[in-house]
Structure 1
Amino acid sequence: MKDFARLFAAVDQSTRTTVKTEALAAFFRTASESDRLWTVALFSGRRPKRAVTTTQLREWAAERAGIPLWLFEESYPIVGDLAETITLVLPPPEREDDLPLSHWIESLKAMSRLDIEARKTQILAAWDRLGTTERFLFNKLITGGFRIGVSRKIMTRALARATGRDEAALALRLMGGWQPETTTWHDLVEAEDPEADASRPYPFYLAYQLEAEPEALGAPEDWAAEWKWDGIRGQLILRGGAHHVWSRGEELMTDRFPELARAVDFLPQGTVMDGEIVTWAGDQPMPFATLQQRIGRKTVPKTLLRDAPVILLAYDLLENGGKDIRQQPYCARRAALDALLADLPADAPVRRSPLIPFESWEDLATIRADARDSRAEGLMLKRHGSPYLDGRRKGDWWKWKLDPLTVDAVMIYAQQGHGRRANLFTDFTFAAWNGNELVPFTKAYSGLTDEEFRKITNWVRKNTLQRFGPVRQVRPELVFEIAFEGIQESPRHKSGLALRFPRMARWRQDKPAQEADTLDSLREMLRLYG
């Protein structure tokens, strides 16, 4: 565990990619196979299930520290992180053991079979045997909140350096539904059959947001354009007589979208497509809110299948006839995709995402302005000669999104942030006018600078009206421009509305609260863009 703690410190304390890569590579060269396997799992989002509740952890930590629970609860929002708060209040360990990472993970997994008192005994014993950083990491694993600022690409590159294996091949091996409990280091990294799992998806190729004008990309004839659909990115895989559907987040979603099972009736085996899963009616997608009803469901009732049917809008072909064609240029892959889908019947669950013809960047800008009419977020730009790579790369794929929708709102509640912003008020609730009443309709916590957050924090402390635990009600005086990507009806909110991806675009210090927007203006946005 000490080696893993040193690795965590090295990657957490540096912003340099080279430092993080070399630290990971050094760990992969020297750690035991079980620790290497669990490190790959943790760094790719595979964590042991939570064995105890956070309420129990807070109570046990306060008891072990010899402090009243109320003092712990007051400390928690100041620190901003439960695992760190526990680490700070606990007394020094009675002794420090150097047991491996895999030992502590196995002990956490075994806790699920114990009663609560036995779990408490084991956790207290662990706290007394771990140093500060190891204890912090153990707490992160207990709470299920282990996160680290290392991308999958950096981890894969480090793994390639440590093992001498091809980085692209390793990226493919790490995809799919593998779990550290059901595989070994050898099977995951070293075995000679990386295609053993017929359901395995390819690593997704991700685009950067286009910040400059598209003219900077060069001649328009070198590029293809299509709508950036507002759905769920997914791969449809047809191999071995079956079909599989994977999300970009490596979640197997086959059972959630049973409509796509019919793809085996229309498409040959040995086919892998990249596309967007959307709910569909007539000749265009339905609002994203209809798709949201299906995202978290393991089974889909007949009424939802009827009211929110899905299709795959395919825009790339990664495997054709059982052959990996990702290194072929985009124009060739797209031609093969079009040929494959050309004669499908109208009721097939897969359709081509249409390419958008254009002759100049000015023409394309005009088309982009009407993206919302097609229920799209903007445009995707892809260089004709580009291969299908893995991860986020600059140069060949760009997303040219629409400018966000905006509304001016009044801040009515404030809460302290987490991590390095734990001493600042950064999480705010915003309201719009409904007659003479301010009605809350969204929360936001990003978009401003640290200096702005410091100024707002000073203002909050001087203008608090009431406290509700960590939340403060403040004077309704500050106005902020809230940017968001979409708006939809929501019976769960008092306003009846919900925003997609809200963030603070700017602090409107020039605007009094009385001039903020109204619920009627938000409802008009819902009518136009919902």
Structure 2
Amino acid sequence: MNRFATLIDALVFMPSRNGKIRLLADFFSTTPDPDRGWALAALTEALTFNEAKPAAIRQLVAARVDPELFALSYDYVGDLAETVALIWPERHDRANSLPPSLPEVVDTLRAAKRAQVMDLVEGWLDTLDSSGRFALLKLITGSLRVGVSARLAKTALAEWGKVDVGELEECWHGLTPPYLDLFAWLEGRSERPAAGHGAGFRPLMLSHPLEEEDRAGLNPADYSAEWKWDGIRVQLVAKGGERRVYSRTGDDVSGAFPDIVDHMSFDAVLDGELLVARGEGEVASFNDLQQRLNRKAVTAKMLQEFPAWVRLYDILFDGDEDLRGLTFLERRARLERWYGAVQPRRMDLSPLVPFAGWAELEALRENARENSIEGLMLKRRDSAYTAGRPKGPWFKWKRGALTLDTVLMYAQRGHGKRSSYYSDFTFGVWRGDELVPVGKAYFGFTDAELVELDRWVRNRTVRKYGPVREVEPGLVLEVAFDSVHPSNRHKSGLAMRFPRVHRIRWDKPAGEADRLETLQRMVVA
């Protein structure tokens, strides 16, 4: 457990992506099996313990610490695991003072009955130091939040094992923790694990933003254009009776979209954009799609009110035939033939956009917002389907962001390395003499600016609501966002798409911030 705790501590305080990769690679190379495999499972969210609920953790600490002291400490720290790890009173009278190993924690919790779980956790907390307690609580509650995504962990594995991350992704869904066969392959002790015969995920091909310097060196005649639809990228995999819908990062989201899965009665791997329909083939706003996201199951009412469908971009496999080595134009022809033959319900083809040159493309891009479209995709006609983000074959040319001057209303503590700072900001605009919230952002500012924002929040708090502070209306944040949509969940009746702090307007009086009417004129119907 100590090695895992040291890793978690280091990851929390490591700000850079490359630094996290180095930490992970060093851990994988110096930690034995099965410890490193269980750590990998925790980092990639393949390890869950349903009986270790936060409420039960609070009950444990309440029996050891004055509840008022714990409440004050939790309000200051902002993270349950960190608060408990720091405030837990150490006992030295237990017969067994040796801390548990990571495999011991995993195996014991898997075999334990519900009534035994918290007694086990209490005993382990008594044997660990504060770092170990923090790692244990993060592990069992499933909320690591150390800035490591599943994709980053796989990238670190691939770099350490000197293999292509696409190769690793190909076999990932056939693997199970603690990944003994995976580590044997990466250390050169065995062949690559089989990819399996089921509906596994294939790593997606991604694009680069199109910059001005890129345009200068490109011949538009070498590229085909498509609309960049305002949904989420998905991969549909149907093989051997199995049907899966995967997100771009390989997460299985099939449970949230049974209306898509029910119509995957084919044998193919398809790349597309998951959207919500409004009427016959019309794209609803991203806000409608959000009603369906991040759910393990959906109600019949949701299925009726927010029907999903997929706009297809590409075909990777047709039956057992791997098409990824073909050119984009060849794959497009195969996709069109496949679609014509199969005619799958709840799916259609994303149309190619004809154009004569850059000037016409730029005009199309600028008008995209009116049609709930994010912008354009440019795909080199002779490009193979290559996993990852190769520079040159595919570009995304998004429409310019909208901006609005808003007023900071509420601030909440962050997580992980930000748990001591107020870093999640709710902002609003004027409706008459009243501020109404229109969005929330937690990025777009530097670490130095975060320190200044945190100080401003602490000095100008007017009310406290647990971990949230209401502040006086005195700071203007210029917010950038992609679009705005009607929303019944917000007091303003509006919701922003991808809001982020663009500038902190220390110089601007709050009374000069924008009004709700300005935002309403930007609404995508």
- Decide: shared fold, TM above 0.5: yes
The answer to whether residue 236 in structure 2 is matched with residue 236 in structure 1 is: yes
Q: Distance in 2 between matches of 1:93 and 1:454?
A: 37
Correspondence 1:71 to 2:69: yes
Q: For the structure 1 residues 102 and 516, does the alpha-carbon distance in structure 2 shift closer, same or farther, using more than 3 Å as the test?
A: same
Structure 1 residue runs without a partner (length 5+): none
Which amino acid counterpart does residue 122 of structure 1 have in structure 2?
L
Q: What SS does the aligned partner of 1:448 have?
A: coil
TM-score by length of 1: 0.85
Match of 2:34 in 1: 34
Structure 2 distance, partners of 1:98, 1:394, is 48
Q: What is the one-letter code of the residue matched to 2:469? A: R
For 1:475, give the aligned amino acid: E
Residue 366 of structure 1: CA displacement? 1.1
Residue 408 of structure 2: aligned partner: 411
User: What is the deviation of 1:230?
Assistant: 1.4
Measured in 2, the distance between the counterparts of 1:503 and 1:152 equals 24
Query: Shift of residue 264 of structure 1?
Result: 5.1
Root mean square deviation of aligned Cα: 3.3
Distance 1:289 1:154 in 2: 28
Distance, in Å, in 1 between the alignment partners of 2:25 and 2:456 is 47
Alignment check: 8 A CA contact 2:5 2:134 kept: no
Q: Could you tell me whether the CA contact under 8 Å between 1:214 and 1:361 is conserved in 2?
A: no
TM-superposed deviation, 1:201: 1.8
Match of 1:355 among 327, 352, 355: 352
Question: Residue 47 of structure 2 corresponds to which residue in structure 1?
Answer: 47
**TM-score normalised by length of structure 2:** 0.86
Which residue of the partner structure matches residue 468 of structure 2? 471
Indicate whether 1:130 and 2:131 are aligned: no
Q: Which amino acid in structure 1 is aligned with residue 484 of structure 2?
A: I
1:335-357 C-alpha deviation (Å, 9 max, x unpaired): 32233224665x84322111222
What amino acid is aligned across from residue 332 of structure 1 in structure 2?
Answer: E
Contact 1:244/1:252 (CA < 8 Å) preserved in 2? yes
> 1:99-110 residue pairs with structure 2 within 5 A?
99-110=100-111
Distance 1:420 1:340, change over 3 A: same
CA, structure 1 residues 413+354, in 2 after alignment: closer, same or farther (shift >3 Å)? same
Q: Work out whether residues 403 and 480 of structure 2, in 8 Å CA contact, stay in contact via their aligned partners in 1.
A: yes
1:512 to 504, 509, 514: 509
Aligned-residue offset at 1:274: 0.6
Output the CA distance in 2 between the equivalents of 1:127 and 1:398: 50
Aligned to 2:87: 89
Count of residues paired in the alignment:
516
**Aligned position for 1:61:** 61
Deviation of 1:46 (Å):
1.9
- Name the aligned partner's letter for residue 186 of structure 1: D
Given that 1:381 and 1:399 are in contact with CA atoms closer than 8 Å, whether structure 2 keeps it comes out as yes
Aligned CA distance change for structure 1 residues 341 and 453 (closer, same or farther; 3 Å): same
Q: Which of residues 419, 423, 426 is equivalent to 2:423?
A: 426
Which residue matches 2:288?
290
Distance 1:213 1:171, change over 3 A: same
Conserved 8 A contact 1:273-1:319: yes
Q: Distance in 2 between matches of 1:18 and 1:172?
A: 23
Change (3 A) 1:81 1:431: same
Out of 322, 336, 339, the position equivalent to 2:337 is: 339
- CA distance 1:208–1:129, change in 2 (3 Å): farther
Task: Tell me if 1:156 matches 2:157.
Answer: no
- Aligned positions of 1:218-237 closer than 5 A: 218-237=218-237
Structure 2: give runs of 5+ residues left out of the alignment.
none
Q: Which range moved further: 193-202 or 252-261?
A: 252-261
Q: Partner of 2:105: helix, strand, or coil? A: helix
Measured in 2, the distance between the counterparts of 1:513 and 1:74 equals 32
Structure 1's 313 and 452: CA in aligned 2 closer, same or farther, altered over 3 A? same
Distance 1:327 1:13, change over 3 A: farther
Is the 1:199–1:239 Cα contact (8 Å) retained in structure 2? yes
Name which of 309, 312, 316 aligns with 2:310: 312
Provide closer, same or farther for how the CA distance between residues 44 and 206 of structure 1 changes in structure 2, counting only shifts above 3 A. farther
Deviations 1:176-208 (A, max 9, x none): 7x653xx86338966776242411121223334
Distance 1:522 1:5 in 2: 47
* 1:448-469, Cα deviation, whole Å (9 max, x unpaired): 2333333344433443333333
Is the CA contact 1:206–1:390 (under 8 Å) kept in the aligned structure 2?
yes
Cross-structure match for 1:522? 519
1:247 aligns with 2:242: no
Deviation at 1:369, TM superposition (A): 0.7
* Cα separation, 1, equivalents of 2:326 and 2:162: 25
Say if 2:462 is the partner of 1:455: no
Q: Distance in 2 between matches of 1:514 and 1:196?
A: 61
- Give the direction of change, closer, same or farther, for the CA distance of 1:124–1:217 in structure 2 (3 Å limit): farther
Aligned 8 A contact 1:153 1:391 in 2? no
Query: Please, which moves more after superposition, 296-305 or 360-369?
Result: 296-305
Secondary structure (helix, strand or coil) at the match of 2:276 reads strand
Amino acid at match of 2:230: D
- Shift, 1:225, TM fit: 2.1
Q: 1:452 and 1:28 mapped to 2: Cα distance?
A: 35
Whether 1:327 and 2:328 are equivalent positions in the alignment is no
The answer to whether the 8 A contact 2:269-2:317 is kept is yes
**Match for residue 437 of structure 1?**
434
1:259-290 deviation line (CA, Å, top 9, x unaligned): 4356556x5x2x21110111233343122233
